Amino acid sequence: MSSSEGPRRPVGINDVAARAGVSPGTVSNVLNRPERVAESTRRRVERAVQELDYVRNSSGRSLRSGRSDSVGLLVLDVTNPFFAEVARGVEDTAGEEGLAVVLLNSAEQAARQRRSIRLLAEQRAAGAVIMPVDGDTTDLLWLRKQGVPGVLLDRGDVSAETACSVSVDNHAGGMAAGRHLINLGHERITYLSGPAELEQCRTRLEGLRAAVAESGGDPDRAVRVIRTAQLNAESGEKAVEEVLAGGPRRRPQAVFCTNDQLAVGVLKGLGERGLSAPGDLSVVGYDDVNLAALVHPGLTTVAQPKYELGRAAMELLLSELNDQEHHHERLRFAPELVVRGSTAAYRP
């Protein structure tokens, strides 16, 4: 078609208007409210659009409207399959509404989170789904003051006056894991936790302790806590040393990990020392990522509805964007224990 060489200047709505013999305003109408324009002119404009290969400029659009058509998704770690699955849910839902998703990665660092939030403000993002690094909601509030509403993900402890939130009941999850282990006869349980700042780590522990108390045990005696710096398999593998410290007699009968990655690391670490689950030790994870079903033995774990979590968060955000009457909502899913091969009854 166009045989002209070199980078020509981009074609705008005015060029289309000229070509179709109408005013720019009409072209805009064809693009945004086609019903307002007569059929014949509409076709003429559409043809001009095709011939010139016009693509609209979203800078101009959002400058005029004060709002862009992309939403932010701020996650703690792109490489964690849990977040990837959540992202898929968010993305699918946003896509159905014609919104683009900007994926930002805080890598669990408050400074990076702050940078990302500032970026969203500069972009005048339509909204954001945020998994915060810590309990501090000032960043979120600031963003909202700038006109960008946010939905919290995986943070059940935030008041509904602040924002919508979607989470899974971590207390119930911890309890489910605890009950399972107790029913199997385990009395000394080690809880392998990630960084203490993460609410998930703390609440799941409380659930575990509640399960112990419920069965008449003393949480302070029965549950020992070990912290790792990060939530990945490597950290879990390293932690095995500490888990086993104290020798075979004082060794725990079960390990409950706050995350599947950690749990898989533990399985590996055990193997390296000639031990294995569930023979020497029962192991429970959390999340039910793909991986959990694939390792040997299959990992008993607390499943979270990951994809639905992302979808629900985005739907809440959409409701806040579209409905004139909006009340913040606190949505909470129920986790589900999935029993596989890594846990078994205690044999003294």
Partner DNA sequence: CAGACCGATTAAAACGTGTCAATGGCCATG
Partner DNA sequence: CATGGCCATTGACACGTTTTAATCGGTCTG
Residues near DNA (CB under 7 A) are: 9-10, 12-14, 21-26, 28-29, 31-32, 36-38, 40-42, 54, 56-57, 59-61, 63-66
Minimum CB–partner distance for residue 32 and DNA (Å) = 5
Least Cβ distance, residue 208 to a copy of itself (angstroms): 24
Which partner from the list DNA, a copy of itself, none does 22 bind, CB cut-off 5 to 8 Å by kind?
Answer: DNA
Residue from 304, 302, 324 nearest 312 by CA: 304
Q: Give CA separation, 31 vs 25, 42, 68, 308, 321, in Å.
A: 10, 9, 17, 33, 22
Query: Which of residues 35 and 272 has its CB atom nearest to a copy of itself in the complex?
Result: 272
Options 5, 10, 138, 348; binder of a copy of itself; rule CB under 8 A: 10
Nearer to a copy of itself, 15 or 187 (CB): 15
Supply the minimum distance, in Å, between the C-beta of residue 82 and a copy of itself.
10
Q: Based on CB atoms, which residue is closest to a copy of itself, 116 or 258?
A: 116
Closest among 256, 254, 172, 170 to 211, alpha carbons compared: 172
State the binding partner of 313 from a copy of itself, DNA, none, CB within 5 to 8 A by kind.
Answer: none
Beta-carbon count within 10 A of 134 CB:
15
| DSSP-assigned beta bridge partners for residue 337 | 302
Calculate the alpha carbon distances from 48 to 19, 34, 55, 61 in Å: 6, 15, 12, 20
Calculate helix-pair angle for 233-244, 260-272, nearest 10 degrees: 50
Q: Smallest distance, Å, CB 149 to DNA?
A: 18
Find, among 278, 276, 260, the residue nearest to 268 by Cα: 276
Q: Are 225 and 194 in contact (CB under 8 A)?
A: no
The CA distance from 72 to 16, in Å, is: 32
| 17 vs 181 by CB, closer to DNA | 17
Q: How far is the CB of 234 from DNA (least distance, A)?
A: 42
Q: Who's near 312: CB < 8 A, 6+ residues apart? A: 89, 166, 331, 333
Give the distance, in angstroms, between the CA of residue 68 and the centroid of all CA atoms in the same chain.
22
Expressed in angstroms, the distance from the first to the final Cα of the chain is 81
Q: Which of 30, 74, 87, 189 binds a copy of itself (CB under 8 A)?
A: 87
Based on CB atoms, which residue is closest to DNA, 33 or 347?
Answer: 33
Q: Which is nearer to DNA, 9 or 327 (CB)?
A: 9
Considering only 100-108, 171-179, 190-198, 243-251, which stretch makes contact with a copy of itself by CB under 8 A?
A: 100-108
Residue 232: partners with Cβ closer than 8 Å, 6 or more residues away: 80, 261, 262, 265
Position among 32, 50, 79, 183 found at the interface with a copy of itself (CB under 8 A): 79
C-alpha to C-alpha distances, 216 to 38, 106, 187, 222, 334, nearest whole angstrom: 77, 41, 11, 11, 25
Say which entry of DNA, a copy of itself, none residue 37 contacts (CB below 5 to 8 A, set by partner kind).
DNA
Cβ of residue 30: shortest distance to DNA, in angstroms? Answer: 8
Residues of span 235-274 touching a copy of itself by CB under 8 A: 264-265, 267-268, 271
Residue 286, CA distances (Å) to 136, 255, 259, 273, 309 in order: 24, 12, 4, 23, 15
User: CA-CA distance, 309 to 331, in Å (whole number)?
Assistant: 9
Each residue 167-206 as x (binds a copy of itself by CB under 8 A) or -, in order, gives ----------------------------------------
160 vs 294, beta carbon nearer a copy of itself: 294
Q: Does 109 engage in binding with a copy of itself (CB under 8 A)?
A: no
Phi, psi of 219 (to 5 degrees): -55, -40
Residues binding a copy of itself (CB under 8 A): 7, 10, 55-60, 62-63, 66, 68, 70, 78-79, 81, 84-85, 87-88, 91, 100-105, 118-119, 121-124, 146-147, 232-233, 264-265, 267-268, 271, 290-291, 293-296
